[in-house]
Amino acid sequence: MTLLDNAKHNENCSKYLLESGQYCAWAIVIAYYSAIKYIEDALFPLEINGEVYEKFNAYFIEVCMPNANKGMREPKKHIELLELYKKEIGDGWESFCWLYDSGMNIRYNSKEINEFNKNKYAEKTRVSLDTIKRFTSAKKELRIQKEKGNQKQASENSVEKKVTQE
């Protein structure tokens, strides 16, 4: 299953739970994990200072973990992804933060969503994920265009180099 397939699968599961009116809290958590997969799909492979990271885990291990050894705070994957999203995409960051905060409160602080605020949370979840999808889709398209441009440039350079050698 690709990252995009996984994102869509999680999104459909979240929507199903929201529409059923059951387990709204878990629908938010699942929407957050859907957002993660949309973000990873949009950003990776990611090039930073000439180094290419194929997946978020490689980026986390090679970029974030060494900082912990330099006396910086211990990295946490979810926080690092929030920061990477803000740096690389920016737009829609507040929506990602809302899903993160809500999901963490639900999972670890046993925050309950009652009948009074269930509809509010359901709508905010839908809007937040749609916002993230819109901006990650645009970022992915830019990344793909850049990759095609780089491939074309590399091909042109190769032809140019061959011609100058002859």
Note down pLDDT in tens along the chain; length 166 residues. Answer: 999 999 999 999 999 999 998 888 899 999 999 999 999 999 999 999 999 999 999 999 999 888 666 665 667 999 999 999 999 999 999 999 999 999 998 888 766 777 778 888 899 999 999 999 999 999 999 999 988 887 766 555 554 554 455 5
| Angstrom distance (rounded) from CA 112 to CA 106 | 7
CA terminus-to-terminus distance, the chain: 47
| 3-140: in CATH 1.10.10 | no
Query: What is the domain partition of the chain in residue ranges?
Result: 3-140
Query: Where are the extended beta strands (E) located within the chain?
Result: 46-48, 51-53
